[in-house]
Amino acid sequence: MSVVIGLRKTFGDFTISVDHLEIPEKGICILSGPSGAGKSSFLRILIGLENADQGQWLKDQQNLLKLKISDRKLGVVFQTPDVFGHLNLQQNLYFAAQARKLSEKIYLPQTEELLRRVELWNLRNKKSELLSGGEKQRLCLVRAIIGQPQLLILDEPFNQLDEKSQHLCELALAEEASVKDTPILLVTHQSLQMLENIHKLVLFEQGNIKFQSTQVAEIRHHLLNT
């Protein structure tokens, strides 16, 4: 488990304020709330793309907010896919594995398994600039997972996916959460395939946490009625 304590960040007249948030060490933690509630800004602070004005993010007696982005060991997927267009799909993954100093023995079997699971294996030699938006988004998800992150941070990762592709990605994430115990922090309004793997719900409103729960009944009620 990691815990965010006393985090503050002001953007003009808008402030992110999180007094205390425990992020489960396994399973999926959903961040919910209306557009403009501060969910994405909060994630950008955790990733290191924005610096907090104050606060801590503690894990194993270490404040992750003080670390360089690369040292936080996060797997990240944003709403808009970001790939190297001049490289083919497989080369994009190889570049990411090298950056994380992973051996071929570790990442190659996992890469093939994940690409097959999200139906990208047959496109592995295709230039990334020729992939559709949904294919690029699936590539970004695989790239985040193979980095063996201590936490996956996913900001609306299903936005560009059709129903079938979303289903494949949700199954892959459910596998990561339930079998490999990778903790996932997920902003989405579309998560019904992963209900049984959701361990926590956090509702943001106007930069603050309005409600949080680990109760299965409360989580299901919220997700099924929003």
Q: Amino acid identity, residue 89? A: L
Confidence class for position 191, pLDDT limits 50, 70, 90? low
Statement: residue 223 has pLDDT above 80 = no
Q: Between β-strands 54-59 and 28-32, what pairing exists: parallel, antiparallel or unpaired?
A: unpaired
Catalogue the E-assigned strands of 120-162.
151-155
Indicate the helix (H) or strand (E) that contains 14: strand 14-23
d(CA 16, CA 6): 10
Mean pLDDT across the chain, nearest whole number? Answer: 90
Q: What does the pLDDT average to over 78-92? A: 92
Cβ 86 vs Cβ 77: under 8 Å: no
Could you tell me if residue 207 is left (phi over 0), alpha (psi between -120 and 50 degrees) or otherwise beta?
A: left
Lowest mean pLDDT among 102-116, 163-177, 179-193, 206-220: 179-193
The pLDDT of residue 194: 66
Q: What percent of the chain has pLDDT over 70?
A: 96
| The amino acid at 19 | D
- DSSP for residue 74: E
pLDDT for the residue 3: 97
Structure tokens belonging to residue 152: 């996956």
Q: What is the pLDDT of residues 134-163, one digit of tens each?
A: 999 999 999 999 888 999 999 999 888 898
From CA 69, how far away is CA 74, in angstroms rounded? 8
Residue 192 has a pLDDT of 57
Confidence at residue 75, expressed as pLDDT on a 0 to 100 scale: 94
Residue 226's pLDDT band (boundaries 50, 70, 90)? low
**Residue at 142: amino acid letter:** V
pLDDT digits (tens, 9 = 90+) for 8-59: 999 999 999 999 999 999 889 999 999 999 999 999 999 999 999 999 999 9
Residue 170 CA to residue 192 CA, distance in Å, equals 9
pLDDT value of position 108: 86
Query: Side chain identity at 120, as an amino acid letter?
Result: L
2-16, 78-92, 183-197: least confidently modelled range: 183-197
Q: 190 with 32: CB under 8 angstroms?
A: no
Instruction: For residue 30, list its beta bridge partners.
Output: 186, 201
Name the pTM for this structure: 0.92
